[in-house]
Amino acid sequence: VFQRMTKSECYFINGTEKVRYVQRAIYNREQFIMFDSDVGHFVGFTPYREKLAKRWNSNAVFMEDRRTAVDWFCRCWYKNFTPFFTERR
């Protein structure tokens, strides 16, 4: 059985003042490529994935989408779910 998974995570420090977006790609429990908004580019963890990361990092449109994910992905979800988490008693 082969399994491929993409995982997107948002880390909120002090509300939405400091937000970090991390996207990971995993194949058979081994992470092979990762984007971190604090770093600002993809990092590959195998020789082939390093080449893939280099290719993705050179695509200006694709990278602009990833770099702005803090706003359109993380902050959007934060606004939607904050009332649910903070107003529950």
Global confidence as pTM: 0.83
- What stretch of H or E contains 24? strand 18-27
> What torsion do the CA atoms of 50, 51, 53, 58 make, to the nearest 10 degrees?
140
C-alpha–C-alpha distance, residues 37 and 24, integer Å: 12
pLDDT tens string for the chain (89 positions)?
889 999 999 998 887 789 999 999 999 999 999 999 999 999 999 999 999 999 999 999 999 999 999 999 998 888 777 777 666 55
Domain segments of the chain: what residues?
A: 4-87
Q: Does domain 4-87 have CATH number 3.10.320.10?
A: yes
3-state secondary structure of 68: coil
